[in-house]
Chain A
Amino acid sequence: MTVAPSTPMERLPEKPVSRSREIWQTLIANRLAVAGLVVLALLVLMAVLAEVIAPFGINDIDIPNRLTGPSMSHWFGTDDLGRDVLSRVIIASRVSLQVGFIAVGFALAFGVPIGLVAGYYRGKTDSILMRLMDILFSFPAILLAIAILAVLGPGIRNAMVAIGLVYTPIFARITRGSVIVVSEEVYIRAARSLGARDGRIIFRHILPNVLAPIIVQTTLSLAFAILSEAALSFLGLGVQPPNPAWGRMLAEGRNFFQQAPWMGIFPGVAILVTVMSFNFVGDGLRDALDPKQKSVIESRGQSV
């Protein structure tokens, strides 16, 4: 390859790389994050097309073929009622993702505004809001979710609320921390001295600058929300029968464990793969967006 020697003048007008492009490039350079993204894309596709893909109906009972091992017709075997485990795993992906997204959406919808207000106004507002968040933080997460479900009653909708509530303080804390840092920046002071109203400063100037840690936390929280939903469903507090959920299927499979281990193995693998993909993407996003931020694991310590 021959390259003409470049003069300094030619090198100067290098195309400026935009920030979003730079983030994307860092992200796709991370092989694990790409693998995670691909798996997640497939999972979402699977959840959307679940009925089309699933070879059998989720409640097609076939007693003569109960507890049969993996075979050509039933890749993941059948359960105690002869239902196809693969079909149930596929359909259950929808519930898991749905609970994950809605619960984390709930946590975002409450946590981020609380963090914005607390971090921007400081003082008494800040103390009151953050002490309230501290109280929610004083319970091990899954226990708080169980207690909330005890009161609201078991079920998928209540599980979303419970998980969402448990995750709210994490978003409030992260948002508040970043807002406090950003509020000291010159451009915020400039906006203020120009007479911009608080609402405008918060939404136009602060929010865009604190999005990075929030995005990372959202991805990681999705992983933990899915784990929490699985645990709650396993305990019988989430999805109710006969609808399949990964956690529930595992609980049901326990009684037939020696005869039919596949009843428990495959739903567990599904949870593991989903959670791991979110973690990979979360870690990759963190490296790309905000290298200083805490890693996945530190947040698992606090949030599961």
Chain B
Amino acid sequence: MSQFLTKRILQMLVALLGVSIVVFALIHLVPGDPVRVALGTRFDQDLYDMLRERSGLDRPFIEQYFAWLGNALTGDLGLSFRNSQPVTSLVLERLPATITLAFAALFVAIVVALPAGIISAVRSGKPLDYAVSAASQVGISMPDFWAGVMYILLFALTLRWLPSSGYVSFLESPIEWLRHLVLPAITIGLISGSVITRFVRSAVLEALNQDYVRTARAKGLSEWRIIRRHVLPNAWIPIVTVVGLQLGFLMGGLVVVEVIFAWPGLGRLALTAVKDRDFTLLQGAVLYIAFMFLTINLIVDLIYVRLDPRVRVS
């Protein structure tokens, strides 16, 4: 286990290094002078000189990269081009909202997908199976932003059950916090859930066809007990894999959904940075999202190894 862990962590560090190079290089690919582009019509010579000096854009590329990386490792990602605030604090401020939404969405996805997938597999070929499959097919093809807008139209504007957008901190009012969380979480969660449903279905279906299930049936165990004791433990591995893969999709979906629901997370921050041409802020936001993404992948791999020791060997 420890050998596998070391290897995986090393791999992740290499990937992070690559990510940092890409993120750093981004600013250098901006046609022309990024500081000038960022300031645009708000051009001011003093501000320009300060930002330019701070960003060290006049030094050679390699030197700049290492200086930037060194600072980044100590948590200093420079100052926002837009309002000269430290990028790290701007990013960290937004982090809790994004993490909350990601987990809430994953929760929705799993709560929907597990029962739907199992029922679909057990009733395979029956009308209920077709209904679940059709629903998940729609979910898979659904644009997340459209789904979000439709939920707002239905649940917020027409039925007035839930707020259409915004964020309330948990400490301020747990009930309002939850009410604001529901629609964005469902928007991403149901789409992810559709994907996971199909995997749960095929994993359970495969386990149901095994000899040990026939034996269990022959012993006269109830169908529910067979599923709980014999099928699910064997279906976990593919399910965990796809849930892990889905997290990548979830993180991507957050960007769009945060914008629709005015959710103050990292995704919306990244998009604001794009609109303001605030390249330092964009670097920071992208770096943090990629870091979270890689960390989640690592965690999924570790869970995977716990579930299936064979992986360690290969």
User: Is B65 an interface residue when CB atoms closer than 8 A count as contact?
Assistant: no
- CB-based nearest A residue for B26: A151
B143, A135: Cβ atoms closer than 8 Å: no
B137, A279: Cβ atoms closer than 8 Å: yes
CA distance A279 to B195 in the complex (A): 12
Q: How far is the CB of A89 from chain B (nearest CB, A)?
A: 13
Which residues 143-171 of A have a CB within 8 angstroms of B? Answer: 143, 146-147, 149-153
CA distance A131 to B19 in the complex (A): 11
User: Is A67 an interface residue when CB atoms closer than 8 A count as contact?
Assistant: no
User: Is B22 an interface residue when CB atoms closer than 8 A count as contact?
Assistant: yes
Chain B residue numbers with a CB within 8 Å of A295 are 198
User: Is A272 an interface residue when CB atoms closer than 8 A count as contact?
Assistant: yes
User: Is B150 an interface residue when CB atoms closer than 8 A count as contact?
Assistant: yes
A140, B256: Cβ atoms closer than 8 Å: no
CA distance A191 to B195 in the complex (A): 43
Contacts A/B (CB < 8 Å), 19 sampled: A135-B15, A135-B19, A139-B289, A140-B249, A141-B248, A147-B270, A235-B255, A257-B152, A257-B153, A261-B153, A264-B146, A268-B150, A272-B141, A280-B137, A297-B199, A298-B245, A300-B140, A301-B195, A302-B245
- CB-based nearest B residue for A304: B249
Q: How far is the CB of A120 from chain B (nearest CB, A)?
A: 23
Residue total for B at the interface (Cβ-Cβ under 8 A): 56
**B9-20: contact bitstring with A at CB < 8 Å (1 yes, 0 no)?**
000001110110
User: Is A247 an interface residue when CB atoms closer than 8 A count as contact?
Assistant: yes
Chain B residue numbers with a CB within 8 Å of A108 are none
Chain A residue numbers with a CB within 8 Å of B271 are 146, 235
Which residues 133-163 of B have a CB within 8 angstroms of A? Answer: 137-138, 140-146, 149-150, 152-153, 157
Contact surface of B with A, Cβ cutoff 8 Å:
14-16, 18-19, 21-23, 26-27, 29-31, 137-138, 140-146, 149-150, 152-153, 157, 194-195, 198-199, 242, 245-246, 248-249, 251-253, 255-256, 259, 267, 270-271, 273-275, 277, 279, 282, 286, 289-290, 293-294
CA distance A272 to B144 in the complex (A): 10
